[in-house]
Each structure stands twice: as C-alpha cells, then as structure tokens.
Amino acid sequence: MPPAGYTQELRRFDRWSRTYDGSLLQLFLFRRVHQAVLNLVAQRTEPKVLLDVGCGTGRLLRAARVRWPNAEFTGVDPSLGMIEMARRLTTGATFLNGFAENLPLADSSVDVVLSTISFHHWQDHGAGVREVARVLRPGGYFFLTDLVWPAWVSLFSNHHTAPPPARISLLFTEAGLHILMQQALTWHFTLVTVGQRTARESITPETG
C-alpha cells in the first residue's frame, strides 16, 4: 500500500516513464550529476553491492555497471512504470517496486546506497534515511544528492523542495550515519551529503 499522498504523483511518474530517458532533465542535469556522484564513490570505495533508491529508469545503475562490472546492482522505485522501463533498458541489475521508507532488502546487505534527485519526493525523510542505514553494512556509504533551493520556489511551481542541509545532516546523524562531507555538486543548487554507517551491531527504525 503506497504511503498517503503518493498516488497522484505515482500516476504522473508512470506516465512520464515512457519518455523519461529522453527528457531535458536527464540530458542536461541528471547525466552530469550521476557522473559526479560515481566519481565520489570511486574515491572512497569499490562497491560490491550497490543500491539506487529512487532509481527511475535505471540510468544511474547503467553508468555504475560500466565502472564496476562485477558488482551487484539493485534499484528501488515506487513507480511501476519506471521499474518496468528500467527492466527493459538495463541488464545485469535487479529492480524492485518499493518505497524508501520501507526498502525491500535485508538488513546489512548493501555496501553503497545512492539516491540522486529523488529525496525531495520521499514522504518521510527520517524513515527513509533510517531504512538506508538499516540495509547498509557497517562501514557502508550513503551518497545522497538532491536539489536545494529556497522554499519560496515551491510557491511558483508544483516541485517539492528537499530539507535544508542542516536538517539532512541531523537525519543522517540520528540514523547512525557519520557525515563525511556535505557540499555543492556540479551546480550550487545541487547538494551531496555523504554518510558512513557506524560499526554498530544493528540499526532499527524508531518506534512509538
């Protein structure tokens, strides 16, 4: 069952999935962001198991597979249309329908988690970050990149805004992720936050 408020947006992404890979966002924004994020990953680790949360049509995982052909790749996205298209376009990867707030993966099963320009769509940012921490192995990395622009932008468009950098940092820390860096990426309005899971026995979602 999708979280409340996702239904209308999911329909829009289902429709968009057929033309998504040829959109201007993919050609002029996402491609550059994806390469920059993968460069950061390569500077810190050589992933064996990599997860993309909000994977869309799988473009980022296709680029990652070129760099690390022997790794295992999984993409998760709430849009069935996006997942269907990702499966058509991408070989050597597993694509699962699901939400960031309830990732369909086992505890401590992933080396690297990526999320690029999808965080602002998550309904519960804290729950999503805790889920990322749960599926990460101790010492694993979370590379989160999203658009950060003034909240007033949303008054003139239907585009969501991500939490401010300080709030993102707090969510990472509360989930047991040690922040390694937080800075602008490619343009001043894209922010990357890199966290590493602390070597605790387990990380479980908050209850109550």
Residues counted in the chain: 208
Domain presence at residue 188: no
pLDDT tier at 69, thresholds 50, 70, 90:
very high
Domain presence at residue 153: no
Host domain of residue 20: 7-138+166-181
* Most confident residue range from 127-136, 185-194, 195-204: 127-136
Domain presence at residue 31: yes
Closest C-alpha among 201, 187, 181 to residue 44: 181
pLDDT at residue 167 is higher than 80: yes
Query: For the chain, how many structural domains are there in total?
Result: 1
Mean pLDDT along residues 146-168: 70
12: domain CATH number is 3.40.50.150
Task: Give dist(CA 25, CA 178) in Å, integer.
Answer: 31
pLDDT tier at 189, thresholds 50, 70, 90:
confident
Domain presence at residue 62: yes
Domain presence at residue 172: yes
Beta-carbon count within 10 A of 120 CB: 17
pLDDT tier at 201, thresholds 50, 70, 90:
very low
Domain presence at residue 67: yes
pLDDT tier at 204, thresholds 50, 70, 90:
very low
Contact 112, 74 (CB under 8 A): no
pLDDT at residue 154 is higher than 60: no
Domain presence at residue 83: yes
Whole-number pLDDT of residue 142: 98
Domain presence at residue 206: no
